[in-house]
Amino acid sequence: MVGLLPREEYRIAVERSWRRCLEWHLPSDARNPILRLQQTEVRSRRQALLEALGDIRADTDRLAEITLKAGHCLVITDPEGIAIETHTGRAENDLLRKAGIVPGSCWSEKLAGTNGVSLALKEQTIFTVCGKDHYFRNLRDVACSAVPLRAADGRIMGALAIICVDRETPVDYILAQSLLSQTADRIEARLFARTYSADHLMLPLPGARRGALLALDDKAMIVAATHSASLSGLPDGRPVVGQSYEDAFETRLPQGASSCAATSAARPMFRANAELEEIAIKDPAVGRAVEKAERLLALKQPLLLLGQQGTGKKRLAEALLRGCETSVRYLDGLVLAAGEDPARAVSAWLVETDRFLAKGAELSVLLSQLEALPSRAARRLAAWLARHERDGRDFTLVATAAGNRPPEGFDVFFPSHVVRLPALAERRDLASLIQRAHRRLAGFGSSISAEAMQRLTAYGWPGNLRELEDVLTEMVTVFGRGALGVAHLPGHISCPETSGAGFVHTLESALAETHWNVSRAARLLGLSRATINRRIKAAGLVRPEDLVD
């Protein structure tokens, strides 16, 4: 019996559990003691847990892959200890079924006796129960390690458990506890960041393990902390929440981070250059994204910019790094993916970057279009980042990726340091953005008529900023720098009908942007799925993978 609690406290916890089992008159030699819920109830509980925790699939899938390779089983339970999901290998199926480890099995102490899940939930910490410590005899062939899953406010929402054949090997217990702790910390950190990062400054707890995060208000007061950060407390025993960051840790915030409110009314902490003002313009969401990105860089934290293709991620990243006044090492995933040997090219880039760092150069690293990297190249880059994080990263790190979540394998480097840029059609300052982009191309003597502006702002812009700049560039090149009206607009923008050549171009753009997801293309264009399907058929459009040479 091992764990994070002192050995004596663990022994006491198990003894108390056994006493409770005896008081409830549980028969320790029961043949099939583990009860199982109907699948309909399991589905409803599973849905409720996933809604509360958000998208944890990437974390649990990664943990399941490692667990299965080790020959173990992964179980996810709700707060009552009901197994809503199990991941088992074929070799272990018979033993685990005999022990009752299946979806819907009930692991509360009153039903399953002393076990890792019930004690982890009751003691509210990671807990391993070895074979001989289980109350029911039919569980004494397995060891069960479990850890609570916590919401942003610290409430227990469920548990993760790794169950394996008990070989009485401490290494098995230590490995299981390490994997569970890392995964639970990542999930809690993501939920914590989602709750607090929009309006607060996020900082790691000094000297604590990854996932111990603090949320600071505009006066640098700590208003919230993850569970691991709260447990650490301060050296003098005071809780971290409610303290001034500078007083608590006897250190000043980095320059530019003392004003950390991220509300739309807050004054920006700093502006590296005029480009950032132009990127934000008047949209509160984009302004908050830019301010958050600035704060993270001021604190030497890694930064990941997410968003659809063409939303300006690379432009924002380059503008931010120009304000850092360091040399920039640039890696473009899409360019490397088009080469003959992307993995070899990444390795060469990493070696050259290490040479710069070895010379003591002030360096910033910009990793663009991470999602485009092939798997081998991505693994090499991730291993290099992991090594530098372990050794104390001494360079500024900014990355960009298309989509709404970090690419697989890279999320661990940006636990709460993600900034999302909205699609162009979602921006509240679209008219101002169009006017400024047009003036940049045509000069201040140019203008766009009110009717033309109405058509431009009503268009869906599936290609985002990139498409807008292409359209405006074409208009200025063809029609000059004077006043532009509806007659100067491309047909697919000047004619908003849902039929004809103009709409076919718009439809093709929307389908390409959504990778032929018809439902998403319909939402993008403001039409029903049935209408989109009729227009696809009428235009003779075919999915790319269905084309025949």
Residue 235 has pLDDT above 60, yes or no: yes
* Cα distance between residue 114 and residue 129, in whole Å: 8
Q: What is the pLDDT of residue 270?
A: 33
Residue 251 has pLDDT above 90, yes or no: no
Q: What is the pLDDT of residue 256?
A: 44
SS (H, E, C) 204-251: ECCCCCCCCEEEECCCCEEEEECHHHHHHCCCCCCCCCCCEHHHHHCC
* Cα distance between residue 431 and residue 454, in whole Å: 9
**In the block, residue with structure tokens 């506890």:** 177
Q: What is the pLDDT of residue 499?
A: 45
Give per-residue pLDDT as tens, 466-504.
Answer: 888 888 888 877 777 677 887 788 877 866 554 455 567
Give per-residue pLDDT as tens, 362-406.
Answer: 888 999 999 989 999 999 999 999 888 888 888 889 999 988 888
Q: What is the pLDDT of residue 547?
A: 44
Q: What is the pLDDT of residue 1?
A: 38
Which of 308, 320, 331 has its CA nearest to residue 279? 320
Give per-residue pLDDT as tens, 31-71.
Answer: 777 888 887 888 888 888 877 776 666 778 778 888 888 88
Residue 2 has pLDDT above 60, yes or no: no
Q: What is the pLDDT of residue 195?
A: 80
Residue 212 has pLDDT above 70, yes or no: yes
Residue 272 has pLDDT above 50, yes or no: no
Give per-residue pLDDT as tens, 497-524.
Answer: 544 555 676 677 778 767 788 887 776 6
> Which amino acid makes up residue 283?
D
CATH number assigned to the domain with residue range 268-422, chosen from the 4 options 3.60.10.10, 3.40.50.300, 3.40.50.620, 2.60.15.10:
3.40.50.300
* Mean pLDDT of the chain, nearest integer: 79
Work out the average pLDDT over 140-147. Answer: 92
Residue 347: pLDDT band with limits 50, 70, 90: very high
Residue 264 has pLDDT above 80, yes or no: no
Give per-residue pLDDT as tens, 310-345.
Answer: 888 888 888 888 777 677 888 888 888 878 888 999
Q: What is the pLDDT of residue 548?
A: 42
Q: Say which CATH superfamily domain 7-189 falls into.
A: GAF domain (3.30.450.40)
Residue 242 has pLDDT above 80, yes or no: yes
Least confident of 131-140, 247-256, 280-289: 247-256
Residue of 541 and 257 predicted with greater confidence: 541
Q: Which residues pair with 162 in a beta bridge?
A: 74, 145
Residue 9: pLDDT band with limits 50, 70, 90: confident
Spatial neighbors of 51 by CB under 8 A, at least 6 apart, are none
CA torsion through residues 51, 57, 58, 60, sign: positive
Q: What is the pLDDT of residue 384?
A: 93
CB-count exposure of residue 381 (10 Å: 0-12, 13-18, 19+): buried
CB-count exposure of residue 259 (10 Å: 0-12, 13-18, 19+): middle
Least confident of 209-213, 407-411, 448-452, 535-539: 209-213
Q: What is the pLDDT of residue 119?
A: 94
Residue 152 has pLDDT above 50, yes or no: yes
- Domain coordinates of the chain in residue numbers? 7-189, 197-265, 268-422, 425-546
Helices (H), 24-56: 39-53
Q: What is the pLDDT of residue 295?
A: 81
Residue 353 has pLDDT above 70, yes or no: yes
Torsion angle (degrees, nearest 10) of CA 144, 145, 147, 148: 10
Q: Which tokens in the block code for residue 279?
A: 């990127």
Q: Kindly calculate the radius of gyration of the chain based on its CA atoms and give it in whole angstroms.
A: 28
Residue of 338 and 241 predicted with greater confidence: 241
Give per-residue pLDDT as tens, 95-135.
Answer: 666 677 888 889 999 999 999 999 999 999 999 999 899 99
Calculate what percentage of the chain has a pLDDT beyond 70: 82
Work out the average pLDDT over 217-239. Answer: 80
Using DSSP's 3-state secondary structure scheme, residue 313 falls into helix
Which of 218, 151, 231 has its CA nearest to residue 190? 151
